């Protein structure tokens, strides 16, 4: 295990923000996770666990030990007629895992193609896209407690999954290091193609009978046409969550803005934050090195050399505009550091 000092994190966050870590280490096993935690305790510095760095905004240098999880491996634990249980190292790239699922004919992850980040980070915020969330294919995970260094297995219920939420962002924040995740994939696919663009994209591709591979291709096509590639333009996907408002509040909004898009759920009415941001005039706006993406205003971007703190300030201005115009406070999906 090689602990480095004063390392730039530029290539370790998809926003491409150039901030430093006081200490930095890549760990390949559970024992190395324990060693790294012990080192941080000895140096009396906080820990920061890094997956793919695809959901963070670095606003300052980190006076911490940054642990980059590189635990890899994809292993079938058990299978029956309907399901296959697959254990995946937290450091595996999410999309590479989805590709493995498709190659093996394991269904369930195809709608989640091309999401940046690692497998270990996926349960943290219950990643989701095109009508599927990780909770739909999740079986359990293993995590090491930061104080006791003991391993604990969490089942789905214990993870407290919600919309871009889990217990690891809330009650158990900063308490565990996720090392492995077990997924329950299906041998008989149940296709989820109701979400808007998937159906039309499959039609455009001339596909009449969908397969997990063709759905994955459709999702990749939609994402590539709408979302900037972090390798080309720094970004962390959706910057804000889509807000849910009470039904009567929504009715009043609808009277003023009859064209407002909406999706009802048990809690109320979900409104696309992208629409709210577009209506307040921010879509496609550029401010020197940073800006709001031209195709998907929910995505804030760093065109190169941008500063994390400036992106934070921009996000606060957007929040203010949306709050003033619609009376809705947008909550960031990205974690600020």
Which positions from 242 through 261 interact with ligand EPU, judged by CB under 6 A? 242, 261
State how beta strands 56-57 and 335-336 pair: parallel
Among 118, 230, 241, 337, binds ligand EPU (CB under 6 A): 241
Is there binding between residue 57 and ligand EPU (CB under 6 A)? Answer: no
Q: Which residues contact 152 (CB under 8 A, 6 or more apart)?
A: 142, 143, 144, 145, 176
Give how far the C-alpha of residue 109 lies from the chain's centroid of Cα atoms, to the nearest Å.
14
Tallying the residues shown for the chain, one arrives at 337
Sign of the CA dihedral with 56 first, then 58, 61, and 63 last: negative
Three-state SS string over 298-326 comes to CCEEECCCCCHHHHHHHHHHHHHHHHHHH
The pair of structure tokens assigned to 212 is 């997990």
Assess whether 164 carries a catalytic annotation.
yes
**For ligand EPU, which is the closer residue by CB, 140 or 201?**
201
Assess whether 238 carries a catalytic annotation.
yes
Residue nearest ligand EPU (C-beta atom): 237
Assess whether 262 carries a catalytic annotation.
no
* Site size with ligand EPU, rule: CB under 6 A: 18
Q: Which residues contact 293 (CB under 8 A, 6 or more apart)?
A: 227, 228, 233, 235, 283, 284, 299, 300, 301
Binding-site string for ligand EPU from residue 192 to residue 221, where x marks contact by CB under 6 A and - marks none: ----x-------------------------
Is there binding between residue 296 and ligand EPU (CB under 6 A)? Answer: yes
**For ligand EPU, which is the closer residue by CB, 165 or 278?**
278
Marked catalytic residue, from 26, 164, 216, 315: 164
Is there binding between residue 52 and ligand EPU (CB under 6 A)? Answer: no
Among 114, 119, 198, 274, binds ligand EPU (CB under 6 A): 274
Q: For residue 225, give the 3-state DSSP assignment.
A: helix
Q: For residue 135, give the 3-state DSSP assignment.
A: helix
**For ligand EPU, which is the closer residue by CB, 261 or 304?**
261
The pair of structure tokens assigned to 220 is 């990749």
**For ligand EPU, which is the closer residue by CB, 226 or 289?**
226
Burial of 134 (0-12, 13-18, 19+ CB in 10 A): buried
Contact 24, 4 (CB under 8 A): yes
Is there binding between residue 281 and ligand EPU (CB under 6 A)? Answer: no
Binding-site string for ligand EPU from residue 79 to residue 118, where x marks contact by CB under 6 A and - marks none: ----------------------------------------
End-to-end CA distance of the chain: 25
Min. distance of Cβ 201 from ligand EPU in angstroms?
Answer: 12
Active-site annotation, residues: 164, 238, 333
Binding site for ligand EPU (CB under 6 A): 129-130, 196, 226, 237-238, 241-242, 261, 272, 274-275, 278, 283, 296-298, 333
């Amino acid at each position: 295990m090689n602990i480095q000092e004063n390392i730039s994190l530029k290539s370790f966050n998809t926003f491409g923000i150039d901030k430093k870590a006081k200490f930095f280490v890549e760990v390949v096993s559970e024992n190395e996770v324990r060693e790294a935690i012990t080192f941080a305790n000895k140096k009396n510095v906080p820990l920061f666990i890094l997956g793919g760095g695809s959901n963070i905004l670095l606003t300052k240098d980190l006076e911490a030990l940054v642990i980059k999880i590189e635990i890899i491996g994809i292993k079938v634990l058990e299978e029956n007629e309907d399901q296959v249980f697959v254990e995946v190292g937290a450091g595996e790239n999410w999309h590479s895992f989805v590709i493995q699922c498709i190659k093996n004919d394991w269904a369930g992850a195809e709608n989640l193609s091309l999401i940046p980040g690692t497998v270990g980070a996926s349960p943290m915020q219950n990643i989701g896209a095109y009508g599927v969330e990780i909770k739909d294919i999740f079986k359990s995970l293993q995590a090491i407690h930061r104080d006791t260094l003991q391993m604990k297995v969490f089942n789905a219920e214990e993870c407290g999954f919600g919309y871009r939420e889990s217990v690891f962002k809330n009650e158990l924040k900063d308490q565990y290091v996720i090392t492995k995740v077990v997924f329950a994939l299906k041998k008989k696919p149940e296709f989820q193609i109701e979400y808007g663009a998937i159906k039309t994209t499959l039609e455009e591709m001339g596909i009449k009978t969908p397969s997990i591979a063709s759905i994955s291709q459709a999702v990749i096509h939609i994402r590539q046409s709408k979302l900037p590639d972090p390798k080309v333009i720094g970004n962390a996907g959706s910057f804000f969550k889509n807000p849910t408002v009470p039904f009567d509040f929504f009715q009043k909004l609808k009277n003023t803005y009859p064209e407002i898009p909406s999706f009802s759920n048990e809690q109320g009415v979900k409104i696309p934050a992208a629409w709210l941001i577009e209506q307040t005039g921010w879509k496609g706006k550029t401010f020197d090195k940073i800006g709001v993406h031209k195709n998907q205003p929910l995505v804030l971007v760093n065109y190169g050399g941008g500063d994390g703190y400036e992106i934070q300030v921009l996000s606060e201005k957007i929040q203010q505009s949306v709050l003033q115009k619609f009376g809705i406070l947008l909550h960031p999906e990205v974690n600020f550091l």
